[in-house]
Structure 1
Amino acid sequence: MTATPTPTRLRTPGLVDGHVHPDKSSWGAPWMSRRPASTLAELIENDRATQFSYARSVEERAYALLSHALANGTLGMRAHVDVSSELGTANVEGVRAAAERLPGLTVQIVAFPQFGLVTNPGTLEAMAASLDTGADLVGGIDPGGIEGDLHGHLDAVFGLADRAGRDIDIHLHDGGEDGLAQIREIARRTTAAGRHGRVTIGHAFALCDTELPSLGETLDLVAEAGIWIATCALGPDPVPELDRFERHGVRLVAGSDGVRDSWSPFGTGSMVDRAHLLAYRTGAITDAELERAFSIASVAGGAMLGLPEIAEWTPESTTYLEFEAENLAQLVTDRPAPQRVVRGGVSVV
């Protein structure tokens, strides 16, 4: 008779989704076919049309995704939620209502001007109102490529954040030297305003282009300003050179971005899956490289969100996940769901 091996239980810190859009998700609904899109502008227009066609409320859809993420070990989340003159604060209110139904999950909401800020009159006022109805941070989007007004857009974002005493999280898809110039301007404003560690840039594709002459200078400015960079390792999108980011001292977190929304049919809401994708896209081979991907999807996100029970995790912590895995390298490779999700000594799943 051959004995059956006893499964190995691995205890880990909780996971953090550092960049996700729960108000856009169709999670839990029947299949949604996507329209083709080849540009960022087309993706945004598809999103605008889809948002106004959903039969289920923002709260219902967000709760479906958030509860699934929690079951898969996500204990913290930075949620980018659309605010505009058309939508007002409704999406923020829906996501906040969904989050309040899940006390085991910390959700920080970014008021996100997906459809433009200075180019969409009334949106800045809606952004300000959203900070009183559930949003925590002030967002922004491509000051150059979408808004066409680098200083006007950043004046609005930093000005609102200063008046409200909030942190900032800006989407920046623009690539090339122009993208790096925008990032340097954000870094300069961050330093000048004394906002070290209180600004995040999502995507930051220009920082992933190792051929750009001013990349090193820009990475140094980002590190000096304490700016967090959120990467999602999506499809053909650029990914950071992790060793280079580490050499320059740039802090990186991982996120899901869109999960089954109008932009993409992909996404599972599992940050173990996202760590796997980041490891795969960055050519991880060794155990240390696989473990680094898990750390970016967990303890780094905990530091960005200010969650010490994740950021400063030890095996003795009362907040933890349990997996059937030998070690973190195998966990990132095999992508199992957690067997237990515990926060503050209480099982939340």
Structure 2
Amino acid sequence: MSNVQWLSNVKLEVGERVLPNGTVETETALFHIQITEGKITKLISTSENIPFNEDSIDMKEKLAVPTFKEMHNHLDKTYMSLGWRACTPVANLKERLAHEASELPLLADSTQQRATKMIETILANGATHIRTHVNIDPYIGLKNLEGVIAALDTFKGKVTADIIAFPQHGLLRDHVPALIREAMRSGATMVGGLDPAGIDNAIEKSLYETMNIATEFDADVDIHLHDGGHVGYYTVDKWVDIIENANYYGRTALSHSFCLGDVSIPEQEKIATRLAENNVAIMSTVPINLKRVIPPIDLLDRYGVKVNFGCDGFFDSWSPYGSGDVLEKVTRFCELTRKIDEKSLRNALKWITGGITALDQGGRKVWPNVQDDADFVFFDAASSAEVVARKPLKRTVMVNGQFV
């Protein structure tokens, strides 16, 4: 294959029009795209002739959208490739953690195999970046980390990753801080945390230890936060204090953060302002739970807080459900919040693309551009709004100019 190739008849979103009744429709056009060594080097209207060669591919008017980012996952936990098994019932979180701990030694030897199957599934669904939390605990040490790194190594050039050293069974116990540090020296790229109140029973101590490890290794942070109500809210507020003191602007995230939906609107607005000022991202899995309020994603978005979606673990000791399709999370969120018009659906795609959309808020074309990476997910769809609403199963994924 030559270093230069053409994709012909690619549908791209180029603008929007407003109908007399006020309805917004997305405008598209067909393009030929030249790709050179993984980068877009030309974008030409199909009204122009191009020098096709043996490597030219007719995309037959498929819509191109940005590739997805799976921003909250657990590659080490899945049962994928081991055959069917449902979850063992438990009475509470403590029992669930104990059950998981009993399984860890039994599953550790198959971590690479299981993680590989999960990565294949996530990639086929369109995600080319995975943020994975990996258990670092007293039961198996770094075995899961070793398996996940080995699995990801086989996808180099196709999938990029954040690998988070995650103290699933508590940071402030046994020799876990030392294990987290060892994990950071052994290939983990980020520092994790978990429920400073509910699991570690010491909010400040847990948060300070997390930041101490992060600054020691100059690493970003992503903390699981399930602690609800004002306890969770206090934890978020305290974490922002620590960020400001450590000058860690733009380097941390809080996953789940249900507590932000448990408090009053003025409190939500106050903390959203602080999160935006310190560029703290929120990672949500948009769970289905009628008894649980999810974080106020639309409010956070209005205040400039970065929000990203992820599938979390799926088909593991915690839940038998999940498909590994992060697009499903956008569709679910839009359905839950009654986003039914073209513009709202179209803009929602940003929560799984790292903020990249074909059109900006004003309906002007901003992607793709010459010199962008040739990374696309192709759909048979009229617009990205249809992609979000209907989540077509048939997809073609390209990374660095190569189909995967």
1:117 paired residue among 171, 177, 190? 171
1:326 paired residue among 368, 382, 385? 382
Deviations 1:72-131 (A, max 9, x none): 11110110000012221111111010001012000110000000111x211111111111
When residues 313 and 26 of structure 1 are mapped into structure 2, their CA distance, relative to the original with a 3 A threshold, is farther
1:24 paired residue among 77, 80, 83? 77
CA distance in 2, matches of 1:328, 1:94: 36
Q: Equivalent residue for 1:309?
A: none
- The answer to whether the aligner puts 1:107 opposite 2:161 as a matched pair is yes
When residues 148 and 63 of structure 1 are mapped into structure 2, their CA distance, relative to the original with a 3 A threshold, is same
Deviates more, 1:44-53 or 1:97-106: 44-53
Q: Equivalent residue for 2:195?
A: 142
**Which consecutive residues of structure 1, in runs of 5 or more, have no partner in the other structure?**
1-5, 303-311
User: Contact 1:8–1:325 at 8 Å: present in 2 too?
Assistant: no
Q: How does 1:8-87 map to 2 (within 5 A)?
A: 8-54=61-107, 57-87=110-140
Q: Equivalent residue for 1:339?
A: 395
Deviates more, 1:279-288 or 1:168-177: 279-288
Displacement of 1:239: 2.3
When residues 193 and 40 of structure 1 are mapped into structure 2, their CA distance, relative to the original with a 3 A threshold, is same
Q: How does 1:249-288 map to 2 (within 5 A)?
A: 249-288=304-343
Q: Percent identity?
A: 29
CA distance in 2, matches of 1:227, 1:301: 18
Q: Equivalent residue for 1:97?
A: 150
Displacement of 1:212: 6.3
Deviates more, 1:170-179 or 1:325-334: 325-334
Q: How does 1:118-133 map to 2 (within 5 A)?
A: 118=172, 120-133=173-186
Deviations 1:239-278 (A, max 9, x none): 2333311222211000111111111111111112222222
Which residue identity lines up with residue 72 of structure 1 in the other structure? N
When residues 313 and 91 of structure 1 are mapped into structure 2, their CA distance, relative to the original with a 3 A threshold, is farther
Q: CA RMSD in A?
A: 2.1
Displacement of 1:340: 2.0
User: Contact 1:239–1:281 at 8 Å: present in 2 too?
Assistant: no
User: Contact 1:254–1:301 at 8 Å: present in 2 too?
Assistant: no
Deviates more, 1:23-32 or 1:279-288: 279-288
1:223 paired residue among 276, 279, 296? 276
Deviations 1:31-62 (A, max 9, x none): 11112245333332232233333386111100
User: Contact 1:232–1:278 at 8 Å: present in 2 too?
Assistant: no
CA distance in 2, matches of 1:121, 1:210: 34
Instruction: Look up the SS of the partner of 1:92 in the other structure.
Output: helix
Q: How does 1:229-248 map to 2 (within 5 A)?
A: 229-236=282-289, 237-248=292-303
Which has a greater percent of helix? 1
TM-score, scaled relative to structure 1? 0.90
Q: Equivalent residue for 1:193?
A: 246
CA distance in 2, matches of 1:220, 1:40: 32
Deviates more, 1:104-113 or 1:82-91: 82-91
Which has a greater percent of strand? 2
Deviations 1:304-337 (A, max 9, x none): xxxxxxxx85265411111111111211122223
CA distance in 1, matches of 2:85, 2:369: 42
When residues 138 and 270 of structure 1 are mapped into structure 2, their CA distance, relative to the original with a 3 A threshold, is same
CA distance in 1, matches of 2:302, 2:135: 35
CA distance in 2, matches of 1:250, 1:23: 29
Structure with max Cα Rg: 2
Deviates more, 1:327-336 or 1:157-166: 327-336
User: Contact 1:187–1:221 at 8 Å: present in 2 too?
Assistant: yes
CA distance in 2, matches of 1:289, 1:39: 38
Instruction: Look up the SS of the partner of 2:193 in the other structure.
Output: strand
TM-score, scaled relative to structure 2? 0.78
